Each structure stands twice: as structure tokens, then as C-alpha cells.
Amino acid sequence: MTEITLIEAITQALAYEMQLDDDVVVLGEDIGTNGGVFRATLGLLQKFGPDRVMDTPLAESMIAGAAIGMASQGLKPVAEFQFVGFIYPALDQIFSHAARMRNRTRGRLSCPMVARAPYGGGIHAPEHHSESPEAMFAHVPGLKVVIPSSPARAYGLLLAAIRDPDPVIYLEPSRIYRLVKQEVPNDGKALPIGRCFVSREGQDVTLISWGASLHETNKAADSLAKEGVRAEVIDVATISPLDIDTLLTSVEKTGRCVIIHEAPRTGGFGSEIAAQITDKALLSLLAPVQRVTGYDITMPYPKMEHHYLPTEDRIVDAVRTTLEYK
């Protein structure tokens, strides 16, 4: 089996589901002839034709509105937004209509659409290409928010997102699009939305992360292992709905917790996780929950990115702090 990158896994999942289900269509800026800005849709136009692979004008509100209309009438649109920083003109459509469709119609209609967008820093691009607004989407009832961390997770979670009867925000960490390769069977097996994955078992501290930051988290776990610290690493994968039970089970075992994400610290989704752990597992904690995050500034461009993003050293330092707490 050939190893593929995360971006190739996305292409593979799109092609599989389009082959399986004629109702699946893709649309977005430059996704047809050019295959998308990161080439996630490369080859789909040639395989499935212009009726199912649609280039759109540079109008994000229109892309979202068209996708919502398609979804309400039985299609399963996958809308690509070139970068998550460009999705803001579409938020009225997504928040006011896609997220509310099932509730507004009392279940008569649903909105089975996926909004895909590259997100996060690390690619040395201007700030509108490097944002991490996952907490904003997670705050809106009616939206599911999914963030893959590897090729295998990208494939399985995208299949699940397309098959979901309600709208899914599918955020793709652009700096790991081609970072690693994995063998990913093209077998059509979806991974569950709303489930955390225990990537590494441990006894001493729980490390919670998602998306690209999981790679630095795993590196930190490797470094800590050399010091005799056994870290349990959890990939949240779905920000909303949050699988808090898996997180609580781990924290109740280890007694210590560090949350890692690259979004700004204030109002970041790590705050919600920390709050729920404190609410539900306070008596299991041996130390305050630590957070390793981005800063409350716009992503610095471009050479300062490495100072902004969580690093292996910052994660290790946070773990040492929680281990030393008396």
C-alpha cells in the first residue's frame, strides 16, 4: 500500500465518496481546473465533470449560500474556502442558516454540507491565511467542528463529515498537509465524529491537543519519556461535539493535565476543556490545568511564526511545572 500525505488523503476521501454517492458535489474558488490552492481537489473535475466539480466566483457568502441551498434539496455539497481567514463573509450564511436549518424547520429539513478550509499557521503566509478560529465555530449550536491531525484521521473523518446529516466545519491544518505520510486504505471506512482518540497511553500526565499541534505534543511526549515521565496523549479530533468522557477518564487516571493548541489563549477552546475538567474532575487533579497556546495577537508574519506556535520545549516546560506542583 502506498503511503500518502494528509492532503492526498483528503483527495482520496472526496473521490471515494463522489464515486459512491452521486449526490456529493464539490464547489469553491479554483477547485476545478486548478485543483484548489493546495491541490486537494486535483483530478476530480476530469473524473466527475463540471456538474459535480464547480468553480465559483470569489464570493464566500455565495459559496456558503449555494451549498446550503443544495443541501436543503437533497445534495451533499462539500464547499472549499481557500483559507479559513477568508470564510468570514460566509459566516452569516453558516451561522444564521446552515447551523439553524434543522431547528428552524423542526426537523423537516437538515443541512448535510461540509465547509472545508485550510487553517492555522506555519506556512509563512499573511495573517489571513494563518488563523485558528475553531472556538468561534464550536460556540455555535448546530455545527460540528472537526480537525484532523494525520492522513488516516483526515480520510476517515472527512468521509464521516460528508455522510453526516448536519453541517460540519472541517478545518485542515495546512502546515501538516505534506509533513508526514501514512498508509491509508481506500476502504471507505469512516472514523466517528465526536470521539477523542488516545494516541499514546501513559500514567503521569495527560496531554490534550488537536490538529497540527499534536505533532509537537507527541515530540514532547517522546522527550518526557527519556526523563521517565509517561505522558498520555489525546487527539481531540472533534471540537464540537466534545468527547469529554475520554478526557475525564484520562485526567482521573493521571491527575495532571496540559492542553496544547495554537489558537490565541484568551477564549481558546482549551479554556472550555480546562473548565469542564475542573467542573467534573476537580478532586482528581493533583495540580492546576496548564495551557500551552498561541498568544493574544494576530499571527506574526512571517519569520516570527515559530515564536508564536506551541513548541516541544514549551510543552515540556508546562509538564514540568505541573509535575513540580505541591
d(CA 17, CA 36): 18
Residues 130, 124 contacting (CB under 8 angstroms): no
Residue 75: CB atoms within 10 Å: 17
φ, ψ of residue 172 in degrees (nearest 5)? -110, 115
d(CA 276, CA 282): 9
Distances (CA, A) of 27 to 44, 113, 292: 11, 11, 36
Distances (CA, A) of 35 to 142, 175, 192: 30, 18, 28
Single out the catalytic residue among 97, 129, 215, 261.
Answer: 129
Residue 19: CB atoms within 10 Å: 12
Is 129 a residue of the active site? yes
Joined together, the cell numbers standing for residue 264 give 490565541
Residue 96: CB atoms within 10 Å: 12
Residues 196, 171 contacting (CB under 8 angstroms): no
Angle value at C-alpha 86, between 98 and 125, nearest 5 degrees: 145
Catalytic residues: 129
